[in-house]
Chain A
Amino acid sequence: MSKQIFALLLRRSRYTVILERGLLLLAIIAVYWALYSEVSALYYSWFSGLCLGGILYFIGFKGQQQWTKITLVNLAEHLNRHFAQLEESSRLLLESSTNTSVLQRLQRQKIEQAFAALYSQGLLVKSLPSMRYKAPALLVLVGVIIHFIPLENDAEEHFNPPSLQAITITVTPPAYTGLPQSKFSEGDIEIIEGSQVQWQLLMSEPNGQYSLLFGENSLLELVYQEQSNQYVATKTITKTGLYRITDLPGVYSVSVIKDKKPKVRIVEPNRSLVELPKSSEAKFTAKALVSDDFGLTKVEILASVAKGSGESVKFRDEVFEFDNHSITKQGELYSKAWDLNALGMEPGDEVYFTVVAHDNKAVEAQEGRSGTVIVRWLDDEEQGITAEGILINYVTEYFRSQRQIIIETEQLLVDKDSLTAEQFSQTSTSLGYSQSDLKQRYGQYLGDEFGESTSEQFDGGDAIEVEHEEEHEHEDPQAHGVSEGEGNAKAVIAQFAHAHEDIHVGEVSSQNPKAMMKKAVSIMWQAEAHLLQSEPELALPFEKQAYKYLKLAKQAERIYVKRLGFEPPPVSEDKRLTGELTDIKSYSRDTQAREINDSDDELFRRVFTLLNKLQSTLNTEQKQHLDKLKTRLTELAETRPGLIRQAATIERILLGNSVELTDCDECLLKLKQKLWQLVTSPVSHPVAGQQSYLNADAVIGDYIQRVQK
């Protein structure tokens, strides 16, 4: 019985140690866990884990030591210390009867009763060391405190600036366009002029006040709607521009597509001058092709009838309607049959008419006009218009037209990326029609001698024959003249085919303006063909070549004029500077030239160079250049909406005061590419000598002396 009690007490003691150590371990782990979740440095600290492991091991090791110390003998001694009744003899209870003496057995019997009494009173159990709670409890308390009191300053992490979470833009085009409403989920939008735009913004902080800033100073306040938790604003937009949300980063663009004017082209008659013989019926048909991006309201013919001639000519203006109207792929085809007799005209009278179309644009319709067609009812006495006179009068005007075609083709190529395939094709086709018109007008004044084939070549079409002395010797003007010994055939040929007798009157120049014009017209065929096939990049070289020949024709004409000019006799050096010129004084003039910095081209070039310097922050001068460029691109965006994206990029650069944009990787590259496209060919600079040696080099000096001796 005693031994059982002893065993029980032993177990109890040991379990107490285990529990105590276990609680301490748990408390330490709890504290570490609290620290781990609060102090981020512990996340990456293997050392902290190692320390924890060491502490836990130490506590376990000490516990194990304590465990081994709790033996029956030690327990007996502990009871002897606490209970005098045991008379220091509790160890006898552990001995077996056979190993003890009589005296020990008697003593054992005596204390067994006391031992059992003590146990039944529970005093033995009470005498065992109790479990220590204080340390674990304290550690747990520390862990709780650490958990609820922030150790790191994460106040900043909890503060988030307001941000735009979602944006919905509803665009309602003007009713007359017939276009449906559209929605956008991005800030950059492309709309029709006059569209009503509604913004709905979902913000992260719904308690703020926000506005949309258009341009520099036009504010549109956003109104908060509780039911949708969104900020809403509405505006009707007519101009391309930039906008942003106040207090938020980001710059957005609104590209406005303008309602274009109607395009009117007279397809019949295909000439601008129609001459009806006196004996004809004086009837003809006029057809016009009219197209518009949204719709037409009215198409009419404005005509002026001119009766009489000379001072007695009278003009009468009339407005006519077309007889028929049909819809084709290229647009609406209007036709009218004309009867000059019904107009009260007689042979010798003329009628000038032009087709005017009005579109359905709201508020103020836009008007498109065709070219003017002149219909002349010939009289017998009148002759056809001579080529040279008209040619000179119209040359300058048509030169501008060919140049305009080139400019518009180049612009089309530059804007290719920002146009849809259909828009690109339509523009190219319309340029082809313009080229065709021009070609026909030139051909008309050249009398269409060359026919209408593009493959026809011209003998007079060689670029320039600057000298023909290799073919003909001018020393003896009579070399090709009549030679009695050679016969009359050659005389006729020499006289009519190659008249060099009078060098002042004969072939006035090696350049034949008519040949140049014919060459130009033949090249226009190629340009027209490519334009009509929507290949403006292939047409452009031909357009430029045609323009070149037109200019050469003009120069050839100038040379002709120059030959007839006055050539003063050469000045004799003896007479020169001998007049009475006492009033002429020597003087000097000093000026400082102003470098041409104001042009668009110079601005584009400067900013391109600036962007290529790769420096992050901008100085004041650079910001001024960028601001100027942004303003200019915004102005140009009225006619070329694609440029507004680049203006938005510049605005972002200015707002961030840095060339590096974090929210758009490709924006800077696209801006540089666009600027490169806009910059024209450069003007060379007057530079000093460029050699790979210095004048001071003695070797060079020695070499020069030796070689030039």
Chain B
Amino acid sequence: MIEFDVSPITTQIALVLLLLSLALTLIKVKNRLFASKPLRFYAVASLNVIAVMTLAAWLSNLSITHPYEQSAMLDSEQHGDPSVVLLNHPNLTSLTLKGYGLRAAQWLPFTGVKLEHQPPKLEAGPVELSWNRQLLLGNRFTIAGRYQNSNVNGIVTVKLLDPAGTVIAQTRIKNHQTFQLTDTPKAMGNYNYRLNVVSEKNELLNDEVIPLVVSKAPAAKILVVQSAPSFESKHLKNWASSQGASLLILTTISKDKFITNSVNMAEDTPRQFTPELLNDFDLTIMDGRALINLSSVHQQWLNQAVDQGLGLYVMADDDLIKVADLPETELPEIVSSFSFEPIKGLQIGRSLTIPNWSGNHSELAFDLMPYIIDAEQGELLLAGSKKRQLSVLKSKGKGKVAVSILKGRYRWLLNGNLQTYSHYWQRLLSRMARVRSDSRFIAQAKNELNVTSLRSEICVLSDKQGLKLSVDDKVLNLSSDSVNPYRHCAFYWPQQAGWQRYVLSDVDGNELDTTARYTFSPQQWQSWQQSQRLSDTADFITQNKQRATAPAVQDYDYQPVNALWYWWMLVVCGSLLWLERKVG
């Protein structure tokens, strides 16, 4: 369809003048040529008419219209922004999809569009991967996933390689079977493990990167209140202080006589059992006798401190259990919900158990108190062999209280197993100690797959204002969560694969926290990416079916004619007319 605009008065005047000049020119040409050369006359007249019409079209803004197409095809394997389809087809109602599809964030602009998709077969490789991206030094990391290969029913070997390229764990699995491999990173920093999948013929099928960030969190402050000197506190003090933690050990040595032993503490920190002291520490460790010997005022202070976030770890002993057993006595309120049920036939010194938790390889047996420990609304903190509950944890206010019947934890040290000993206490501290209120990055999700050019989200926790988040010196916009005002998130589209460094700083530019994240290229973890895209696309199709689509609206696209056409037409006509005069 053609349209033109002659509404302006100047256009109308110009058109009229053009017509007049055409008429006069034709008359003159007729007088000159018609009688002697009629053919030439017709040619010249045609050229004049064409030239005038070209000018008239130019003046009246001639444009061509065509209706918008409502359906389109998208090949998701082509690089580039898929939402460009919407630019070319603004009223798109139906989309035929080729390839594995898009991620959930990429489907957002296509809401309401009917999608037809024939998903292709997935490439062979690991899918549904998950692992902890950020660890503390000494923690164990576990990578889990599933291997899928639609073409083969054989057996493959999945190997985990450390940053030195050494195979540290491997497992043989069948198609569609899950796998789990673990290791304990040896040093802090950002580095890459690798996951290899090898066929039965020893051909390398997949070689993927597993990025990991190992960091060191701020050291805890530990308060130990004990009724007598013990090896337990001695070894705990030696280990924790050598790793930078602050400790205060209050030991009763006689009636109203105490030894106060502090390590790595500031001089102005209080040394007396006061509410200020309790609020200054992250975890308090007490033996049962020390707890029951606290005065009612001290117990009240302890209660309040735990409600405010302090962790309390009680090592049960005979005195505590006797108080629990005797009907005329009752446990201190803070542990009143714990119960101790004797196990018949067990005696102290003859009851052994092997504590086990994720990451523990030691099979050293420990003595334990022959009781079954439990608590209302409690959760298991540490289990032993034969399903023994060795430590039980209960939340109280913002803090936590735990009671343990395990004895002699320092025996790991005496057996030369510092790793297990330190891991035990680190695990306990991270579960029980006071939550720090420092501004920090929120850990990345275990199954997150950040790919270049796709949207990534990064969030921080902070109670400060005016925060600034930058990635490789580019500043990102942080916005607060609507539900949790201390949670702030930013979106980012990384353009390069590899490690990126994120820095959180306050309004004065002081660095609050740093972290690193790895972005994969589209060529890495292909089977996993395809699997995620297929899953997101299937979700999108399902959601779209539930939405009613708007009726089709016919619309048009107006495109003005390119001015060059006019220019060349005039030049050609003018040249031919000039030539005719010269020849004539």
By a beta-carbon cutoff of 8 Å, the part of chain A in contact with chain B is 463-464, 466-467, 469, 473-475, 510, 548, 551-552, 555, 562-563, 567, 570, 573, 577-578, 581, 584-596, 604-605, 608-609, 612-614, 672-674, 676-677, 679-697, 699-701, 704, 708
Contacting pair B185 A689 (CB below 8 A): no
Does the CB pair B163–A685 fall under 8 Å? no
Q: Which of A467, A475, A605 contacts B351 (CB 8 A)?
A: A467
- Whether B282 contacts A591 by the Cβ 8 Å rule is no
What would 6 more interface pairs be, CB under 8 Å, given A609-B187, A684-B422?
A510-B352, A573-B319, A586-B258, A685-B219, A693-B461, A708-B395
Complex Cα distance, B388 from A469, in Å, reads 14
Report the Cα distance A552→B352, complex, angstroms. 13
Q: Give Cα distance in the complex from A683 to B166, angstroms.
A: 21
The reply to whether the CB of B415 lies closer than 8 angstroms to some CB of chain A is yes
B271 touches A695 (CB 8 A): no
- Shortest C-beta distance, A616 to chain B (Å), equals 14
Classify chain B's interface size. 35 or more
Interface centre among B187, B188, B221, B436 (most CB of A within 10 A): B187
CB–CB B184/A681 < 8 A = yes
Distance of A414 from chain B, by nearest CB (Å): 9
Find chain A residues with CB under 8 A from B216 CB. 685, 687
Q: 1/0 per position for B198-242, CB-CB distance to A under 8 A?
A: 000000000000000000111111100000000000000001111
For window 422-478 of chain B, which residues contact chain A by CB distance below 8 Å? 422-423, 425-427, 429-437, 442-443, 461-463
Residue of B nearest to A548 (CB): B363
The answer on a CB contact under 8 Å between B260 and A588 is yes
A228 to B291, CA, bound (A): 89
Report whether A612 and B419 are in contact in the complex, using a CB–CB cutoff of 8 Å.
Answer: no
B255 contacts A687, CB within 8 Å?
no
Cβ contact within 8 Å between A688 and B423? no
| Distance A680 CA – B257 CA, assembled complex (angstroms) | 43
Q: Which 8 A-B pairs have the closest CB atoms?
A: A684-B138, A593-B241, A588-B260, A684-B426, A612-B189, A466-B352, A673-B164, A469-B345
What is the distance, in angstroms, from B53's C-beta to the closest C-beta of chain A?
40
| Contacting pair A699 B346 (CB below 8 A) | no
| Residue ID in chain A nearest B137 by CB atoms | A682
Smallest beta-carbon distance A508→chain B, Å: 10
Binary CB contact string for chain B from 261 to 300 against chain A (1 if under 8 A, 0 otherwise) = 1111101000100000000001000000000000000000
Q: Which residues of B contact A464 (CB under 8 A)?
A: 352, 354, 363, 365, 385
| Beta-carbon contact of B186 and A676 below 8 Å | yes
Contact B419 A681 (CB under 8 A): yes
Report the Cα distance A473→B377, complex, angstroms. 32
Q: Known contacts being A608-B189, A685-B243, is A475 close to B344, with CB within 8 Å? A: yes
A466 to B255, CA, bound (A): 39
Instruction: Give the most central of B163, B386, B418: most A CB within 10 Å.
Output: B163
CB pair B255–A578 under 8 Å, yes or no, is yes
B354: chain A residues within 8 A (beta carbon): 464, 466
Bound CA span A161–B352, Å: 74
Q: Is the Cβ of A695 less than 8 Å from the Cβ of B254? A: no
B190 at the A interface (CB under 8 A) = yes
A673 to B166, CA, bound (A): 9
Contact of B80 with A by CB under 8 A: no
How near does chain A come to B243, taking the closest CB pair, in angstroms? 5
A683–B262 CB distance below 8 A = no
State the Cβ distance, B503 to closest chain A Cβ, in Å.
14
Q: Is B536 interfacial (CB-CB < 8 Å)?
A: no
Query: Is B484's CB under 8 angstroms from A699's CB?
Result: yes
Select which of A591, A685, A689 is within 8 A of B436 by beta carbon.
A689
Partner of A674, one of B164, B185, B191, B255: B164
Find the B residue at minimum CB distance from A416. Answer: B166
Is there contact, CB below 8 Å, between B255 and A577?
yes
Q: A590: nearest residue on chain B (CB-CB)?
A: B262
Contact indicator A695/B437 (Cβ below 8 Å): yes
Contacts of B253 in A (CB 8 A): 584, 586
A612 touches B191 (CB 8 A): yes
Given A682-B419, A689-B430, A708-B397: A469 and B188 interface contact (C-beta under 8 Å): no
A691 near B435 (CB under 8 angstroms)? Answer: yes
Tell which of A466, A578, A592, A682 touches B385, judged by Cβ atoms closer than 8 Å: A466
Cross-interface CB contact of A593 among B185, B263, B352, cutoff 8 Å? B263
Question: Is B571 an interface residue, CB under 8 A from the partner?
Answer: no
B85 within 8 A of A: no
B28 within 8 Å of A by Cβ? no
A688 close to B219 (CB less than 8 A): yes
Q: Is the CB of B217 within 8 A of A690?
A: yes
Q: Which of B165, B185, B309, B345 is the one whose CB lies under 8 Å from A474?
A: B345
A694:B463 contact, CB within 8 angstroms: yes
Contact B352 A687 (CB under 8 A): no
Whether a CB of chain A sits under 8 angstroms from the CB of B353 is yes
A463 to B216, CA, bound (A): 36
In the bound assembly, the distance between CA atoms of A469 and B437 in angstroms comes to 48
Query: By CB atoms of chain B within 10 A, which of A464, A555, A684 has the most?
Result: A684
When chains A and B are docked, how far (Å) is the Cα of A587 from the Cα of B258? 7
Contacts A587-B260, A684-B426 given; indicate if A466 touches B220 (C-beta within 8 A): no
CB contacts (< 8 Å) of B190 on chain A: these are 612
CA A397 to CA B333, docked complex, whole Å? 53
**B486 at interface, CB cutoff 8 A:** yes
**Is B409 in contact with chain A by the CB < 8 A criterion?**
no
- What would be 19 A-B contacts, judged by CB atoms less than 8 Å apart? A466-B352, A466-B365, A467-B352, A548-B363, A552-B363, A562-B349, A577-B254, A586-B258, A589-B261, A590-B265, A683-B422, A685-B136, A687-B218, A689-B429, A689-B436, A693-B486, A704-B398, A708-B377, A708-B396
Tell me which of A510, A563, A679, A686 contacts B187 (CB under 8 A): A679
Chain A residues within 8 Å of B508, by CB: none
- The answer to the question of B162 belonging to the interface, with a C-beta cut-off of 8 Å to chain A, is yes
Is the beta-carbon distance between B271 and A588 smaller than 8 angstroms? yes
Decide: A676 and B240 in contact? CB cutoff 8 A: no
Interfacial chain B residues near A608, Cβ < 8 Å: 186-187, 189
Residues of B within 8 A of A596 (CB): 242
Known: A466-B353, A588-B260, A687-B219. A595 touches B426 (CB 8 A): no
Complex contact B437–A696 (CB within 8 A): yes
Query: Closest residue of chain A to B217, judged by CB?
Result: A687
Q: Which residues of B contact A585 (CB under 8 A)?
A: 257
Chain B nearest Cβ from A384, distance in angstroms: 34
Let me know if B430 and A687 touch, CB within 8 A.
Answer: yes
Closest chain B CB from A606 CB (angstroms): 8
Q: Which residue of B lies closest to A697 (CB)?
A: B486
Say whether B136 contacts A589, CB under 8 Å.
Answer: no
Q: Is the CB of A685 within 8 A of B263?
A: no
The minimal Cβ–Cβ distance linking B551 to chain A, given in whole angstroms, is 44
Does B245 sit within 8 A of A, measured CB to CB? yes
Once the chains are docked, how many angstroms separate the CA of A686 from the CA of B433?
A: 10
The CA of A507 and the CA of B136, in the complex, are separated in Å by 45
- A673: chain B residues within 8 A (beta carbon): 163-165
Known: A590-B262, A677-B166. A683 touches B419 (CB 8 A): yes
User: Is the beta-carbon distance between B437 and A466 smaller than 8 angstroms?
Assistant: no
Flag if B243 contacts A595 (CB, 8 Å).
yes
Query: CA–CA, A555 to B416, complex, Å?
Result: 13
What are the residues of chain B within 8 A of A510 when measuring CB–CB? 352
- Contact partner of A586 (CB less than 8 A), chosen from B260, B319, B418, B429, is B260
Interface centre among B344, B429, B432 (most CB of A within 10 A): B429
B12 interface residue per 8 A CB criterion: no
Contacting pair B218 A688 (CB below 8 A): yes
Most buried by A among B344, B435, B462: B435
Which residues from A are CB-within-8-Å of B264? 591-593
Are B282 and A467 in contact, with the CB atoms below 8 A? no
| Docked complex Cα distance between A473 and B345 (Å) | 7
